[in-house]
Amino acid sequence: MKPHPLAPRSEEIELKLALPTSDPSSLAKRLAQTPALARRPASRQQLHNIYFDTPEQLLRQQRVALRLRRIGSEVQPQWLQTLKTGGRDDSALSQRGEWETPVPNDKLSLKALKATPWSSMDPDGKVFRALSPCFVTTFERTSWLVRRRDGSEVEVALDVGQIVVGDQTTPVCELELELKAGPSAALFDIAQQIARTIAVLPSTMSKAQRGFALAQGTLDLPLHAQPQALASDLPLPATVQRVLREMFSQFTVNLNALCSSDEPEVVHQARVGWRRFKSAMRLFKPALASEAVPSWQALQTLWICLGELRDLDVARTETLPPLADVYVAGDDRRAQAWQAMTQALAQAAELQRKAVRYALQAPAVGASLLATTQWLESLPALSGAGEAAAKPKISLRRWTKGRILHLHDQLQRALRDADKPDHLHRVRILAKRMRYDIEALRPLLPKRLTQRGYQRAANLQASLGASRDVMQAAVLVAKLEVDRGLVEFLRGVAAGRGRQS
């Protein structure tokens, strides 16, 4: 299937927000009470959507979605056929082509695709003939049309329902803000008004993407780092935006998955995403307008909760299992003590996971994430404010190499004082930053610097991390009502590994 050429198209600009609530039934009423939507009439529709693709999922691979939508009841249905193209998957703000055409029934119409890029994508009709239903979405949409004095117009739509693939289902509970007229800033203005009282999470996944993920068994799996392809002729502001957007997306995608997933790796990758993002923020600081950077103070409670949950997950799934046989050594009493400890850790982790989900329901968290999303989208417009960006002929390769070497010098200085406990922690943090930043900027860096710098940082992080993990496990176990001999055993192991690092 050939990708469609860049051509004039009907464009949809939309901001998508997940709603991490335990009571979706009250959302419409609560939204209607927000200042942005108060005293505006709401409309309600039952929407039934059928998504199509080939057995090889050629449309999904091309970032294309084709659906049939039934509006109203089965008795008096209205059918719309919609083609969407070109959506990005690294931001809650999406801009994509959209062509919607009324059709007579629940059968795809090739004729309705004539005025769209479909002809260039599928010139011989082979792909169209291979299409078949993949999944269904069914939800109630409550929508408000917001017309503002500046001439901007935004449709705010609350969708509550489900996605169905065979006998599998997953809930839909999201808010879509679609720009009908005016600048995209209007979307964020209204979203921020809503986020003052209702918890939201920026969402990069469309219903189509979630449907395909459900069908493939990949929904809510942890999202790992996906460093961007970078070219030396890319302007510095665009490079900064591309790198930071990918890292922030890793953070928010895993936060969304955390709302329903108990997988420890989701927690880990959420923390990795945020650490990569903060590390790159430090690296790119000379190219950023410091006064424009949003505040993340509202995320502190969430970050602490995530850290405590990660410590529990690491202790019970990674650090302690290899030590079980060494401690038990065939002794029944010790075996019982070990089992009691593992059960207590599992219960503590379960409670902490609930605390994380509770923290995600704080409106201030969503408002902070929204502000960051808007800031990332505006980065190219801020290009003149940064110190480095003021130099129009700066070499991107030279600039990134200089920043990595500066970080390397910081690591070297910390290593010289590594005999002090607080400096060991700094060495570990700097090693992480070095590894994250080299991963992100690898295409722009000299090969030798990349290989040697990355390997050294990874080795330091691994050696210092192993000692820290056992020590942290001992601290966690000491807080539980367990055999004190077990606690002393873990402290001894931690002390021994500390001497080896």
Q: What is the pLDDT of residue 499?
A: 63
Strand (E) or helix (H) holding 181: strand 168-181
How would residue 51 be classed by pLDDT, with cut points 50, 70 and 90?
very high
- What tens digit of pLDDT does each residue of 343-371 get? 999 999 999 999 999 999 999 999 999 99
pLDDT score, position 501: 55
Examine the pLDDT at 391 and tell me if it is beyond 70: no
How large a percentage of the chain has pLDDT more than 70? 93
The phi and psi torsions of 129 (rounded to 5 degrees) equal -70, -20
What pLDDT is attached to residue 394? 67
Residue 119, C-beta contacts closer than 8 angstroms, at least 6 positions apart: 113
Neighbouring residues of 488: CB distance < 8 A, sequence distance ≥ 6: none
The length of the chain in residues reads 501
Tell me, what's the pLDDT at 393? 57
Q: In the beta sheet, which residues pair with residue 70?
A: 48, 79
The pLDDT score that the predictor gives to residue 382 is: 58
pLDDT in tens, 429-474: 999 999 999 999 999 999 998 999 999 899 888 888 777 888 899 9
Task: Give how far Cα 111 sits from Cα of 97, 125, 128, Å.
Answer: 18, 11, 11
Mean of per-residue pLDDT scores for the chain: 90
pLDDT at 498: 63
Q: What's the whole-number mean pLDDT along residues 419-432?
A: 80
Q: What are phi and psi of 150, to 5 degrees?
A: -80, 5
pLDDT digits (tens, 9 = 90+) for 109-138: 999 999 899 989 999 999 999 999 999 999
CA distance 239 to 438: 14
Whether the per-residue pLDDT at 61 is higher than 60: the answer is yes
Query: So what's the pLDDT on residue 5?
Result: 41
- With residues binned 3-state (H G I as helix, E B as strand, rest as coil), the percentages for the chain, rounded to 5, are 55, 20, 30
- pLDDT value for 469: 87
Reported as a pLDDT band with limits 50, 70 and 90, residue 494 is confident
Residue 89: the pLDDT is: 79
- 328-341 per-position pLDDT tens digit: 999 999 999 999 99
Predicted TM-score (pTM) of this structure: 0.92
Q: Please enumerate, as own/partner, the contacts of 2-5 that have beta carbons within 8 Å and a separation of 24 or more.
A: 2/120, 2/121, 2/123, 3/62, 3/121, 4/62, 4/85, 4/117, 4/118, 4/120, 4/121, 5/117, 5/120
Residue range 181-229, pLDDT digits in tens: 999 999 999 999 999 999 999 999 999 999 999 999 999 999 999 999 9
Integer-rounded Cα Rg, in Å, for the chain is 26
Residue 415: predicted pLDDT: 87
